[in-house]
Amino acid sequence: MRCLVTGGTGMIGSRLVRLLLAKQCRVAVLVREPSLAWRIADLLPRLELIGGSLASLPEAAGAIQGFRPQTVFHLGWYGAVNSRRNDVRQVTENLGGTLELLHIARESGGQRFVGLGSQAEYGAHNGLLTEELPARPTTLYGLAKLCAGLVGQQLSDTLGIEFTWLRLLVAYGPADQADYLIPTVILSLLRGEKPRLTSGVQRWDYLYVEDVAEAIWQAAQEPRAVGVFNLASGQPATVRAIVERLSDLIDPRLPLGWGELPSPSLPIRSLEADISKFRRATGWGPRIPLDEGLRRTVEWFRENQGRYADADREVKGVGAS
Ligand SMILES: NC(=O)c1ccc[n+]([C@@H]2O[C@H](COP(=O)([O-])OP(=O)(O)OC[C@H]3O[C@@H](n4cnc5c(N)ncnc54)[C@H](OP(=O)(O)O)[C@@H]3O)[C@@H](O)[C@H]2O)c1
């Protein structure tokens, strides 16, 4: 299968690229700046790199059409990090780019499009998220994701493309962004410093990045997996339990700064999702339990700590994406 991946240099996309190569796919990656593609540096000789950005897709259209992707995996997104959630480029660049990408996919003979949505599409909902809930995003990030999923679905119907939109809750794992909760706590503890934390009562549903990549792959294989689906582990844990596990794995003697940060500004105390719709459509289920995923993540950060030398030393709150 010939696959085009946007966001292939990111935390989740790089894991997906690895999986696609392992499945013997031919993979092209839309890349803004090859010198910054450190997460896939070892794979570059096996990939076709297409220079371009969601902001200027027409410039990449010829190369994409030349590659003729059968499936497009759309993970690229300007401002996926917390600090840019209300940047207007969420709409101008990401929404416009997603719709443009669909057109280019069709012109290239593409039949399948799998995009990454977010829990942010639901807004500040406490309790179990089901796909039927009214979506009330509170950020431009959530709004742009919601529009990309809805308009993308409509446009795909017109263009004759099978379209899947996966509303992912929170991913974690190796090579994550430094300012999300789990990497920040790990890096702090590895430096022998006390992480500053909220009270830790929030419950979050984290999904290990390998499970995310496998879910994206299975979505593309299954004709019934068309439409909008939640993607999560289905097993939320408190921030306190997660941090205590990290502490046990790194150095239980180090103090933890519970309550040193104010409660998160997000009014979400419990982020969990019903994932039965996706399970029924694909048979997918998470394979890596939280305990094991945290152990692997700590090991990776221990070995790659140097990459994060300038990382911000303060927990900024959970990366509620
Ligand atoms: N991580 C989570 O917990 C989570 C949860 C829900 C949804 N998601 C969604 O999952 C996707 C991947 O997330 P991630 O955590 O892997 O994010 P990430 O590590 O921040 O990666 C973002 C990717 O998007 C690319 N990108 C940024 N702006 C772009 C643009 N203008 N044109 C083309 N590509 C652009 C980046 O390329 P560069 O390398 O050039 O910067 C990078 O490859 C995103 O769509 C995100 O919104 C993530």
Digit-coded pLDDT (tens) for 7-26: 999 999 999 999 999 999 99
Buried b (16+ CB within 10 A) or exposed e, 61-82: bebbeebebbbbbbbbbbbbbb
Digit-coded pLDDT (tens) for 134-173: 999 999 999 999 999 999 999 999 999 999 999 999 999 9
pLDDT at 83: 75
Q: DSSP per residue over 195-241, as a string? A: PB------EE-EEEHHHHHHHHHHHHH-TT--EEEEES-S--EEHHH
pLDDT at 156: 97
Greater confidence (4 vs 80) lies with 4
Q: Is 80 exceeded by the pLDDT of residue 251?
A: yes
Residues 194, 207, 231, 140, CA torsion sign: positive
Greater confidence (263 vs 158) lies with 158
Rounded (10°) CA dihedral 112, 114, 115, 118 = 150
pLDDT at 320: 34
Distance 208 CA to ligand 1 centre (A): 16
Tokens for 109, please give them: 């003979």
Residue 53 CA: which ligand 1 atom is closest?
32
pLDDT class for 262, splitting at 50, 70, 90?
confident
- Say what percent of the chain tops pLDDT 70: 95
Domain boundaries, the chain: 2-170+207-231
Stretch 241-261: mean pLDDT, rounded? 97
Residue 177 CA: which ligand 1 atom is closest?
19
Distance 77 CA to ligand 1 centre (A): 5
- Calculate the average pLDDT of the chain: 93
pLDDT at 317: 35
Rounded (10°) CA dihedral 125, 126, 127, 133 = -10
CATH of domain 2-170+207-231: 3.40.50.720
Distance 74 CA to ligand 1 centre (A): 9
- How far is Cα 251 from Cα 260, in angstroms, rounded to an integer? 20
Ligand 1-lining residues (CB < 6 angstroms): 6-7, 9-13, 30, 32-33, 36, 53-55, 75-78, 80-81, 93, 116, 118, 168, 170-171, 177, 319, 321
| Stated pTM of the model | 0.95
